[in-house]
Structure 1
Amino acid sequence: MNTWSQVADIQPLASKIITNSMEKGRISHAYLLQGERGTGKEAIALLVAKSLFCTAMQGIEPCNECNNCKRISSGNHPDIHWIEPEGLSITKEQVNHLQKEFSYSGMESNKKVYVIKDADTMTVNAANSLLKFLEEPSKQTTAMMLTENSGSIIPTIRSRCQVIDLKPLNPVHFQKQLLSEGMKEPDAILMSALTNSLDDAFERIGDEWFAEARTRMLQLVEMLAAKSENVYLYLHSHWLTHFKDRKQLDQGLDLLLLAIRDVLYYHIGNEANMTIFKSGNAFLEKSAMAFSQERLSDILNLILQAKRKIKQNVQPTLVMEQLVLQIQR
């Protein structure tokens, strides 16, 4: 999305809020953009920055051709600063460094923009340091905080930002987009359930690690359905050796969630919306016999709880051991 008209097609409310502020000359000193991955948070942050620095604006639209616009697109503008987690968190030291940078005059104007990706990962100390920064905003400074979970942002920061919720993308629309880009239909159906990002979808489909992840997920479901005594051995020797970090484990849980949901869909006759399995799959029918509709609903909630624990930095091995134990009760 390179223009506000393109944003309006995907995120009409966000586009209207920000462009109305631009037209009135009342850009907020701080925005908190909340939305799932692929909903356009970074694209909107870039457009706000371009709209502030573009030297050849066409109404509310940045030209995307001037030197400033090109440098912003490439991440090389000296008065626009990006912060993202170092490891799992955004640290106090990163925020302090940002404050130091902003104590100097702008390199080319008095305007400055900073963008904080995954703002919900800020440590308590980092959030408190940022709060001091937000309490005394400069008229020439614009903050853009991006998050998938604004509930993890401390209330005192939220209250000083204009919060904009980005709606999830329509999966059917995204499927059509993937198909038009040459992706096979079964893959497009699966990817539209896993991500809203075109680049991410094609990266996963071509990734050997992801292909193996699907295989190991199906093996785990099979062992859970059979109530195998070897499920814990499998968990440690095959599952945790493949899903080695929190991001990978979260993707594995996403796949597991979709597979269990498919089994529930099979139970209730909603096979048209399945993403992992196809109708008539013997493994699907076997799994449906192993779990009742009520139990499948319980398992879906257990997987969602496990995903939340991963985001809360609970030890991954413990999360998976508890999940398997709860499913096999």
Structure 2
Amino acid sequence: MDFKSILGHERTIDKLKETIRKDKVAHGYIIDGPIGSGKKSIGKAFAKGILCDSFSGDSCNICTSCLKIESENHPDLIYIYPDGKSIKNHQIESLQQEIIRKPYESEKKIFIINDADSMTGSAQNRLLKTLEEPPAYAVIIMLSTNSNRFLPTILSRIQLLKLNRINSNLIEKFISKKYNINENEAKIYAKLSNGIVGRAIELKESEDFNIKREETIDILDKLICKDPLKFFEGIDFFNKYKDNVEEVLDMMLYWFRDLIVLKETDCNDFLINIDKVSQLQEHIYKLESSNLVEIIEKIEKSKKDLRAHVNYQLTIENMLLCIQEVQ
């Protein structure tokens, strides 16, 4: 894993490259971003670049250090993972015992803490002592999904790097090339990934994604066709996919978004569900543009309500009734 193999995040990567080139690597970093955004890849590429014997814009991939990192056998690169659901006090104590030992083979000694935002309060306070007076050779890279969980005193002593979501067009091209599929198919995974390449890969490799998508479209078809007896099928469907409700709601949003595009432009070029044009064409005659906007707003509100832990059953029922009744 090196910088050039990472998709997107150019600003963050350029900044890290520059710190290596100028030999201005700080003692502490937090790389913060959603699950699947590339934190682990960037953290490893950064560590590899720091330890590389002949870094020149990227790791050389041929020196002993690079080869050892790829085989996960470098004595000066240490990974820390949660013990259960959190990084605990005793793990940071072990880090402190190890950090006082000078590097074995390199000029730097690097610690990568995975899910660092899961650190307990006592663990963070213990780590703070190390961050206040770290050895000159030590670099601590923390990977997190929510930097707000860190103590302000920790945040004040490290460099925080926020990973932004990647343009869906880049993800689309990446998925198309990686899996040798056409761009229309890749577009679906890219759009539903919400700018997270790891999510797009997960969807492509999921055995039940296509089944879930077909079932979602089938439920929408029954609701749009205003079959009152099918309302309860919709409730059963959402109970079945309760653990994946946000993904299903996103599928629904993209479906109604495509209906607006078709209705307003009569053009297929910008559709996400490009493989479902005939079914979309059937639906545009059953809904007015104002109805589509109302439905999209209701789905968006339902997503927010569910994130706020509003009653699941009530939220879903209200949303399904809205879709069925606005026509």
TM-score range, shorter chain: 0.7 to 0.9
**Is contact 2:77-2:111 (8 Å) kept?**
yes
Distance 1:139 1:240 in 2: 54
Per-residue Cα deviation, 1:77-101 (whole angstroms, up to 9, x for no partner) = 34433345566x4x142x5314313
Query: Which moves more between the two structures, 71-80 or 123-132?
Result: 123-132
Per-residue Cα deviation, 1:186-241 (whole angstroms, up to 9, x for no partner) = 32111111336767645533533112221232244345544856646644x44443
SS at match of 1:323: helix
1:134, CA displacement in angstroms?
A: 3.2
Aligned to 1:16: 14
1:19, CA displacement in angstroms?
A: 2.3
Query: Which moves more between the two structures, 44-53 or 292-301?
Result: 292-301
Aligned to 2:93: 99
Question: Unaligned 5+ residue runs, structure 2?
Answer: 323-327
Per-residue Cα deviation, 1:20-61 (whole angstroms, up to 9, x for no partner) = 22233221112222345555322221122112322x214353
**Is contact 1:35-1:147 (8 Å) kept?**
yes
* Greater Rg by CA: 2
Matching residue within 63, 66, 89 for 1:66:
63
**Is contact 2:263-2:284 (8 Å) kept?**
no
SS at match of 2:110: strand
**Is contact 1:10-1:169 (8 Å) kept?**
yes
Aligned to 1:298: 297
Query: Which moves more between the two structures, 260-269 or 66-75?
Result: 260-269
**Is contact 2:68-2:74 (8 Å) kept?**
yes
1:320, CA displacement in angstroms?
A: 3.6
In the TM superposition, 1:304-315 aligns within 5 A as: 304-305=303-304, 308-309=307-308
**Match of 1:299, as an amino acid?**
K
Aligned to 2:2: 2
Matching residue within 256, 261, 270 for 2:257:
261
SS at match of 1:22: helix
In the TM superposition, 1:261-280 aligns within 5 A as: 261-266=257-262, 268-269=264-265, 272-276=269-273, 278-280=276-278
Distance 1:304 1:120, change over 3 A: farther
**Match of 1:102, as an amino acid?**
Q
Distance 1:57 1:76 in 2: 19
**Is contact 1:262-1:275 (8 Å) kept?**
yes
Distance 2:143 2:126 in 1: 17
Aligned to 1:205: 204
Query: Which moves more between the two structures, 57-66 or 270-279?
Result: 270-279
Distance 1:92 1:166, change over 3 A: closer
Distance 2:129 2:66 in 1: 30
SS at match of 1:143: strand
**Is contact 2:96-2:130 (8 Å) kept?**
no
**Is contact 2:166-2:197 (8 Å) kept?**
no
Aligned to 1:323: 315
Aligned to 2:140: 143
1:250, CA displacement in angstroms?
A: 4.2
- For these two proteins, the number of residue pairs brought into alignment is 312
Identity of counterpart residues, as a percentage?
23
**Is contact 2:92-2:127 (8 Å) kept?**
no
1:185 counterpart = 2:180: no
Question: Unaligned 5+ residue runs, structure 1?
Answer: none
1:131, CA displacement in angstroms?
A: 4.1
Matching residue within 46, 49, 52 for 1:51:
49
**Match of 1:10, as an amino acid?**
G
Query: Which moves more between the two structures, 31-40 or 222-231?
Result: 222-231
Distance 2:157 2:214 in 1: 46
Distance 2:69 2:63 in 1: 10
**Is contact 2:20-2:50 (8 Å) kept?**
no
Give the structure-2-normalised TM-score. 0.75
**Is contact 1:263-1:287 (8 Å) kept?**
no
Query: What is the root-mean-square deviation of aligned Cα atoms in Å?
Result: 3.7
Matching residue within 104, 107, 116 for 1:108:
104
Distance 1:97 1:80 in 2: 16
